[in-house]
Amino acid sequence: MKVSRLAALLACASVSCFGASKEMVELQRDVALLQEQATAIQRTLDEKLAALQVLVQQSQENSSRTNNQVQSLQTDLSTRIGEQLRPIMGVGQKVDNMQQEVQGLRDSIADLSSRLDRLDAKLTDVGNKMTLIAQPPAPPAAAPNGPNTPPPGMSADQTFANAQRDQQAGNFDIALKEYTDYLTYYGQTDQAPVAQFNIAQIYYNRADMDKAVQGFDAVLKYPENSQTPNAYYMKGMSLYKLGQRDDAANAFRELIKNYPRTDQANKARAALRSMGVPVPDAPTAKGKRKPSA
């Protein structure tokens, strides 16, 4: 009875041991399977990480290559733009140079015009001097009683000659004083209009155009004389230099109207053309018309 119970216990223990051994084997198999799966996962991760590194490296290379291409494109574009703009800049420089040349030409023309005006004034002065040389001084008029009686020892001839000499020598202040004295004491002589014209001419040469206009107007108040056409022309020139174009044009027209065949009338026509003013027609009949009252 005891032997049978022991045998049964042994049998049970044997069965239990067998069951435990089977579970251990299964557990070991499961662990091995998990290890294989873990190894496979690790291998997959390594492969993907390697592929990712390759992609990152390729991206970096592509980015670097793209940057180089962009820089090269920028350089090429800048070069091409510079080449395209170079002719335009050259044209701009040429335009600037042309503007400077035009301005220089304008300055030269203005300077030439000023010189021509001075030359014209000098020619007029020379013509006046030649007229004075050709015309002998008139004998002195009888000195009237009163404040215009000349001082003792003063003569018309000597006073006029002294004034001419000082004017020719450039002593204009002295010449003005002498011409004024002449007009004060000998204002009714034939040389009085000449003395008045020379006073106005001195003011004109000094660019004192207001006094020049007054002086030439004073000449025109005398009866018609050798200086009348010159006085008309120089009055017009003085008014023109004062900027009084309409009054200047009227003086030139008056000269052309009354003395159409004189050299001064020809110069007045040229002056009107330069001003852009219509020029009166040249007369067909010979002779000259008297100045209007």
For 122-145, write each residue's pLDDT tens digit.
Answer: 665 555 555 444 443 333 333 333
At residue 172's C-alpha, the angle toward residues 167 and 178, to 5°, is 75
The DSSP call for residue 188 is T
Domain count of the chain?
2
Looking at residue 227, which CATH number applies to its domain? Answer: 1.25.40.10
For 269-280, write each residue's pLDDT tens digit.
Answer: 999 999 998 888
Query: Is there a single domain that holds both residue 83 and residue 146?
Result: no
Contact partners, residue 121, CB within 8 Å, separation at least 6: 201, 204, 205, 237
Q: Is residue 226 part of a domain?
A: yes
Q: How high does pLDDT run on average in the chain?
A: 81
Looking at residue 66, its pLDDT comes to 79
Query: Is there a single domain that holds both residue 19 and residue 147?
Result: no
The DSSP call for residue 137 is P
**How far apart are alpha carbons 201 and 163 in whole angstroms?**
13
Q: Is residue 279 part of a domain?
A: no
**How far apart are alpha carbons 20 and 86 in whole angstroms?**
97
Query: Position 128: which residue type?
Result: N
Residue 68 has pLDDT above 90, yes or no: no
pTM summary value: 0.49
Share of the chain above pLDDT 90, in %: 41
Query: Is there a single domain that holds both residue 98 and residue 198?
Result: no
Q: Which of these, 228, 194, 232, lies nearest to 213 by C-alpha position? A: 232
Mean predicted confidence (pLDDT) in 214-230: 94
Q: Is residue 293 part of a domain?
A: no
Query: Is there a single domain that holds both residue 141 and residue 262?
Result: yes
Among 50, 79, 112, identify where a domain stops: 112
- Cα end-to-end distance, the chain, whole Å: 188
Query: Is there a single domain that holds both residue 123 and residue 234?
Result: yes
Share of the chain above pLDDT 70, in %: 76
Q: In terms of residue numbers, what domain contains 234?
A: 113-274
Mean predicted confidence (pLDDT) in 10-21: 63
Q: Is residue 45 part of a domain?
A: yes
Q: Where residue 242 falls among pLDDT bands split at 50, 70, 90?
A: very high
Residue appearing with tokens 């042309």: 98
Q: Is residue 102 part of a domain?
A: yes
